[in-house]
Copies of this chain bind each other. A is one copy, B any other.
Amino acid sequence: MARAAKSAPLPQPPAGTPATRTEAGEPLSPVISIREFKAHCQTCGMRELCLPFAFTADQMQQFDALVEHRTRLKKHEVLYRAGDPFHALYAIQFGSVKTVALSEDGREQVTGYHILGEVIGFDGIGDDRHCVEAIALENTELCALPFDGIENLSRAMPALQRNLHQMMAREITRDHGAMLMLGSMRAEERLAVFLLNLAERYRRRGYSPTEFVLRMSREEIGSYIGLKLETVSRLFSRFHQEGMIHVQGRTVKLLDAGALKKLVG
C-alpha cells in the first residue's frame, strides 16, 4: 500500500549510450525465487500490474507461479502471429516489440511500438486468438503471464482485477490517441507527436527523454504514423536542419522539445 511504485528510483538508465549496449542486461536464472522475482518487478512492466498494492505471502506465491515462464526473442523473431491461439499476456523486461495488424488484402499497419515495461497481448482476449502479430525489434526478453491464471487470481484480488482493467482501458485510450493522430494531423505533427510520446515513455521509466535509439526503420515508423518512409526521412532531415532534433541514423536527440510541442498544437 505505502510502497508507491512510481517514486521508486529505477536502476541503470543507459539509454544515452547509442549502439554499444544493444543487448539485454544480465542473463536470468531459469529458476526464480520469490525474492529474485520481486527484484525484477521493480524494473519491468509487471510492477504496474502487481505492485501498486500489498501481497499476502500466499498471493505472492500464487502470482510468482504465474510468471515462471520467460521468453527470449532475437531481433525480428515473432512472438505471436495473427490467428495464433491466445493464452498469455507478455510483459516486456528488456527490448522492444512492434505489433502489426494485417488486412485481408495484405496491407500492414503497425499498431503499436512497445518498449520495456509495457504489457502486450490484449488483442488475443477477444476471441481466444491473436489478431495482430508481435515482432521483436531487437533482442528482447519477456515474461509470459498465462491469462487464465491472471483471471483466476484477479477474482481473489480486487486490486489486481482493477489493475488489469486499467491496463486494458489504457490500451483503448492509447489507440484513441493514435486515431486522432492518424485522422486529423499533418505529417510534421504526426512525427512530432511520435517523438514526444516516446520521450515521455522513456522519461517515466527513468531513461533519458531527450536521447534515445529508435528501434524501428523509417518504413515501420511511417506505417505507425500513416506516412510513407520517404516522408518520414524528409521530416527527420527538416527537423534536424531547423535545430529541433539531432538525427544520426536511428539515434535521436531532442534539442528543442518546446518547438516540437508548439508544432503540434
Chain A contact residues, CB within 8 Å of chain B: 101, 103-109, 111, 122-127, 131-132, 151, 154-156, 158, 161-162, 165-166, 168-173, 175-180, 182-185, 223-226, 264-265
Min C-beta distance of A166 to chain B, whole Å: 6
Residues of chain B contacted by A111 (CB below 8 angstroms)? 176, 179-180
Q: A123-B176, A126-B170, A172-B122 are in contact. Are A104 and B265 (CB under 8 A)?
A: yes
- Decide: A103 and B176 in contact? CB cutoff 8 A: no
- Decide: B126 and A223 in contact? CB cutoff 8 A: no
Q: With the chains together, A179 CA to B123 CA distance in Å?
A: 14
- Specify which of B161, B172, B178 is in contact with A123 (CB 8 Å cutoff): B172
Residues of chain B contacted by A158 (CB below 8 angstroms)? 151, 155
Please name the residue on chain B nearest to A156 by beta carbon: B155
- Decide: A169 and B265 in contact? CB cutoff 8 A: no
- Decide: A184 and B122 in contact? CB cutoff 8 A: no
Q: A104-B265, A105-B264, A169-B126 are in contact. Are A178 and B179 (CB under 8 A)?
A: yes
Min C-beta distance of A82 to chain B, whole Å: 10
Q: With the chains together, A161 CA to B148 CA distance in Å?
A: 11
Q: With the chains together, A264 CA to B177 CA distance in Å?
A: 25
- Specify which of B103, B177, B265 is in contact with A180 (CB 8 Å cutoff): B103
- Specify which of B101, B105, B151, B166 is in contact with A176 (CB 8 Å cutoff): B101
Min C-beta distance of A59 to chain B, whole Å: 14
Please name the residue on chain B nearest to A193 by beta carbon: B103
- Decide: B165 and A125 in contact? CB cutoff 8 A: yes
